[in-house]
Chain A
């Protein structure tokens, strides 16, 4: 921990922290008797995706992996929040609920994950906040789960995984957004996939590095869909956070989106201003990983290309191995912008942070 004020992390709001479900038995405690028994009878050991295979190097920083810091609220607080003095951390549990085909089972697991997070994380440390894991295999069940969890103000966001079966702007998802807007919940779209189809538009990659490096492509699709389908016109208070897919892909994508809008805007006449203006008001990006070049001067130029520096939200991506020590932001961010990224922007993005 540094004492240099310009490098202080005090009060920072970490917008992407991953609690890991230690075992399926933990979740069974939060299931009704049918699902608890079913897990055993069917011999379900675990739902895990290829997103973060247990032994892949990026899955957990070595120091975090050693004592399984991500499996326990106290250990996460000790490893991450205490040393840096974070004000809040938003928990995005990546248990593979979105992968489950059976919508009833998906809803049961979503409930279990959310209740596990509530009782074993939120109740144990007032600094934690969380995303609602949403079983959007069924829109009705997704809305019901948002409504159920929204009563607890410590849930600040509804979580989606970027690789959906249909782009998230489609109107079938709108009832979820209606509920989120009404409750002041942000929607978070995290890298990864339901794995119901290939993770790239060109089919399955062979290697983890290809998969991970291409994960921003799903974000392109989701930003384009949310904007062009008119989600933010229908739900003007809604914000969407693109989590864990870098930052620098956005300006060139917006350049193209603006360009094509000029010539084809009659297909989407409800978009009556540049798409990048809508993105500026409604889309946010977390800063881990920050796919920035090494030279600090270049970083400033890239940030200049974003529609607004209000779009950047600090994230450690704990326990994923994005950095070492406390190098959680790239060099070249001045103290004014640093404070915005660490505190002001997250507060403006998550209205429930201040009411809970």
Chain B
């Protein structure tokens, strides 16, 4: 495991995402209302890329005709078969135990803490005064 600086915080707006390749692995960093989450890019079902999947809320129900729409912006659907994944956990709705995306730890670090540390940041010039998204892969 290594920590990778993958983006400047202001690159990924709330509701947005950034796809990166870390050690040859596709990873997507999502910004959900200011919180960052990182998931593997590839759907465990048939391998669709979640880079282009729509981001939605969660709908649940207590009875036919009842639609409880919550957690807007926290679900990503695979563009191929529309399976839903919880951005915060990586778990699918339809089969949460077996069908899930890998979840990676994400931290926001101040540049001053990064310039000296053992961080991998091939594509970034880390500025001391900025904040960065750091993913552990």
Q: Name which of A97-105, A154-162, A266-274 contacts chain B.
A: A266-274
- Residues on B with beta carbons closer than 8 Å to the beta carbon of A269: 59-61, 66-68
Are A266 and B84 in touch, CB under 8 angstroms?
Answer: yes
Of the candidates B63, B68, B83, B94, the one whose C-beta lies within 8 Å of that of A234 is: B63
- What's the least CB distance linking B45 to chain A, in Å? 8
Whether A234 contacts B64 in the complex (CB less than 8 A), given A263-B81, A264-B82, comes out as yes
Asked whether A262 is an interface residue with its Cβ less than 8 Å from the other chain, the reply is yes
- Residues on A with beta carbons closer than 8 Å to the beta carbon of B63: 230, 233-234, 270
Asked whether B124 is an interface residue with its Cβ less than 8 Å from the other chain, the reply is no
The majority secondary structure among interface residues of chain A is helix
- What's the least CB distance linking B33 to chain A, in Å? 21
Whether A261 contacts B60 in the complex (CB less than 8 A), given A266-B84, A270-B66, comes out as no
Are B61 and A263 in touch, CB under 8 angstroms?
Answer: no
**CB nearest neighbor in B for A263:** B82
Question: 0/1 per residue, B25-69, Cβ < 8 Å to A?
Answer: 000000000000000000000000000000010011111111110
User: How far, in angstroms, from A291 to B44 measured CA to CA in the complex?
Assistant: 37
Asked whether A7 is an interface residue with its Cβ less than 8 Å from the other chain, the reply is no
- What's the least CB distance linking B70 to chain A, in Å? 11
Of the candidates B56, B65, B83, the one whose C-beta lies within 8 Å of that of A262 is: B83
Asked whether B93 is an interface residue with its Cβ less than 8 Å from the other chain, the reply is yes
Are A171 and B94 in touch, CB under 8 angstroms?
Answer: no
Are A270 and B82 in touch, CB under 8 angstroms?
Answer: no
User: How far, in angstroms, from A274 to B83 measured CA to CA in the complex?
Assistant: 14
Whether A171 contacts B64 in the complex (CB less than 8 A), given A262-B94, A269-B59, comes out as yes
User: How far, in angstroms, from A229 to B63 measured CA to CA in the complex?
Assistant: 10
Which residues in chain A, 253-304, are within 8 Å of chain B measured between CB atoms?
Answer: 261-266, 268-270, 272, 274
User: How far, in angstroms, from A274 to B95 measured CA to CA in the complex?
Assistant: 9
Question: 0/1 per residue, B10-26, Cβ < 8 Å to A?
Answer: 00000000000000000
Are A233 and B64 in touch, CB under 8 angstroms?
Answer: yes
- Residues on A with beta carbons closer than 8 Å to the beta carbon of B56: 266
Which residues in chain B, 61-118, are within 8 Å of chain A measured between CB atoms?
Answer: 61-68, 81-84, 93-95
Are B64 and A270 in touch, CB under 8 angstroms?
Answer: yes
- Residues on B with beta carbons closer than 8 Å to the beta carbon of A261: 94
Are B62 and A265 in touch, CB under 8 angstroms?
Answer: no
Q: Which one of B56, B59, B64, B81 has the greatest number of beta carbons of chain A within 10 Å? A: B64
User: How far, in angstroms, from A162 to B102 measured CA to CA in the complex?
Assistant: 46
User: How far, in angstroms, from A269 to B67 measured CA to CA in the complex?
Assistant: 7
Given contact pairs A233-B64, A262-B94, A266-B59, a sample of 10 additional A-B residue pairs in the complex whose CB atoms are under 8 Å apart: A230-B65, A234-B63, A262-B95, A263-B83, A265-B93, A269-B59, A269-B61, A269-B67, A270-B65, A274-B94
B interface residues, Cβ below 8 angstroms from A: 56, 59-68, 81-84, 93-95
Q: List 25 A-B contacts (CB under 8 A).
A: A171-B64, A171-B65, A229-B64, A230-B63, A230-B64, A233-B64, A261-B94, A262-B81, A262-B82, A262-B94, A262-B95, A263-B82, A263-B83, A264-B82, A265-B93, A265-B94, A268-B64, A269-B59, A269-B66, A270-B61, A270-B62, A270-B63, A270-B64, A272-B60, A274-B94
